[in-house]
């Protein structure tokens, strides 16, 4: 079986190999998690910091869509393909 290990999709960039969900069932952010791709950390999207998932994504894409953890970046990475995972 290829998909026996459950992975989760980043709601910001569509990266689909997160080790856990960004938010649990109650909507509580998992602040120990950080996306390897866009560097989004759950809990950033709160009112105090004035970030939403959308504004974080826009800023990240506009600044060049750089990987937070460069060594996790696949050789043939395509942002447009990846972002289809979240249908934005
Ligand atoms: Zn991400």
For 36-58, the pLDDT digits (tens) are: 999 998 876 555 667 788 999 99
Q: What is the pLDDT of residue 6?
A: 76
How far is the centre of ligand 1, averaged over its atoms, from the C-alpha of 47 (Å)?
20
Burial class (CB in 10 A: 0-12, 13-18, 19+), 37: buried
How far is the centre of ligand 1, averaged over its atoms, from the C-alpha of 1 (Å)?
26
CA distance 18 to 13: 11
How far is the centre of ligand 1, averaged over its atoms, from the C-alpha of 19 (Å)?
12
Q: What is the pLDDT of residue 49?
A: 63
**Taking a C-beta distance cutoff of 8 angstroms, is the pair 31, 41 a contact?**
yes
How far is the centre of ligand 1, averaged over its atoms, from the C-alpha of 24 (Å)?
16
Structure tokens at 2: 């290829």
Per-residue pLDDT of the chain (88 residues; tens, 9 = 90+): 455 567 899 999 999 999 899 888 898 889 889 999 999 988 765 556 677 889 999 999 999 999 999 999 999 999 999 999 997 7
How far is the centre of ligand 1, averaged over its atoms, from the C-alpha of 64 (Å)?
14
How far is the centre of ligand 1, averaged over its atoms, from the C-alpha of 80 (Å)?
13
Q: What is the pLDDT of residue 62?
A: 97
């Amino acid at each position: 079986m290829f998909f026996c290990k459950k992975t989760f999709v980043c709601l910001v960039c569509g990266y689909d190999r997160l080790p856990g969900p960004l938010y649990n069932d109650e909507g509580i952010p998992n602040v120990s998690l950080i996306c390897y791709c866009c560097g989004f950390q759950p809990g950033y999207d709160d009112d105090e910091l004035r970030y939403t998932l959308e504004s974080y994504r826009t800023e990240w894409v506009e600044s060049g869509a750089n990987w937070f953890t460069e060594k996790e970046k696949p050789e043939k990475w395509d942002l447009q393909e990846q972002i289809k995972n979240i249908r934005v």
